[in-house]
Structure 1
């Protein structure tokens, strides 16, 4: 009996969150978040029996997610019934879900993206087989939000499998749907490609594995120093990727976590922006977001975000400016002594001491004009005031 009540309360929590989010959407016609999967989550027939007594306590929310993502149910949300005899639980759940408003809005324009997506659904068995049961030797990245494992599919293709870990199961589901929804909308050579996903045994995203790893690993950990021609190619490619996110998508996307570790390098060192875990949609008629939860990577955070929680395209512009400085100087955004690259570089740029900024490992093998162009773009991008920073298209040009 207690198990039945527990499962019903958890289901009520998820339902109330989703209904709260839908009510927000009705008031905001322009969307600020990916919604394809979430909209179908509303519609799935799983919720039509939510007012009945739970007969199978072992049926988890993850199982419902699997059934949803494999189905193409078009059932209307109008038929959803909520067990309001748990009214106290509902009210509590509404309060717990209020923080999701910053991340999720609903629109009827997105549902086809994931329903008709060619992306593959991986079983937990597939993922365990690809990663040798998620062995430590295949762990290539770990943070507060997720673990990333390298793996190999039966056809020999190398993949990166991201396992979301932050928060409780409901928060993980929301993070998963948000990130997958964004990646389902993007298609650009300088954006990491999503191959598929898995929802058994946790929430997983499966991406192409870049043979050279991340820019951070190549720039700071590799025995071979990166040539300037490759650095310049990376600078241009990341800028092109951000121009696409800000202006080329059908909605504006703010990445919010541009950094060397989130730039993957293909076989020919073309950069690909990855990790959309903190990304936000920005509606056309909005100038910015105000976020209350502080997230991101020190050394790349724009001043207005640190002080006021303001998020817009200029947030990414500032982070790109820091990345450009890393490419020129070979220094980390925040070194082991916690010294800021921006604070170190600004006085030198102001005095036009360019040669003191250049990575000594380049040993003079670089194009002087390209160095000056990259430093100019960096100097403009890390302006204290966001108003004085250029748009991404201007940085690229």
Structure 2
């Protein structure tokens, strides 16, 4: 099978994506965005679980599925059948990378574990994604983003101080795990060029969830307890956060003392605040935020957002509107960047698909393939990679294997 764009960074790399739901498919999509040929294996009837989650697109897709499966082919295969397992092993031999997120031991039961697939293939790069450390006491526990958000302390650091623990709006642990997984695969591909040997990349949701606590996590260790929660405000920079103007919310980020002086003088017309000894330094502003922020709130609430944004921009203070999700996706900024595309769909006519975020040499990487309908690439992949005849594929379909 030829790569539609041989100039892409990962052109010539082939990936077998055995994963489902979010973290694994995200890893595969990142590699596909960068030019790899990604073959996604799915159950012939059900497909990926997310084909049945959320807003439907046609008869086999949803917005959820489409958000993590662009630039892939779909091959349907019943991995519970011996014939299906053999086809999967044959496909793996034609691939550089295998991604899987089966329950612990599940890949091995199917004959698709790392040690089983690497026999005679020392250059195979194999990425296992699990909930917890595969060598630890919780190896067999299934991993779910929301559970890990709770266990890793992410919910405890999110939201306003008076709120109960709050999850992120998206499955952040899954997404970061997928991205970390893609980074590790890229590193293994780079190393393979020098050594000729592959790697077993192992990613755990809990590990990645703990990593993205970042500076909050280190502060908790240094303090010996949880840092305060500030919601949309910043724990150490004031004023920095979301404020309500007379006609809508905006973000104001005053990053240093000179900006604060300009903010007080030129934006909210309160030079007395800049002259107040309590607020001259950021350390002082943070210590006295309970006094300062209500004053700023009142001044911002008296003015319209457009006026404030114009003044903030003129003063060199980073700022922006707070938009609704649909507003952001349909904004001129998103359109100018080419971030939202419409892709052809055999049933819906067309459907929106986000473009990859990467730019190389000034050009955004393309959506080479829209998210696939279930089984879209089965015939072509099996014929071109495994040299199966039409008659053989027809028998496999009759037997429910593909």
TM category (shorter chain) comes to under 0.3
Give the TM-score taking structure 1 as reference length. 0.24
Rg comparison, structure with higher value: 2
Give the TM-score taking structure 2 as reference length. 0.24
Higher-RCO chain (CA-CA 8 Å, sequence separation at least 6): 2
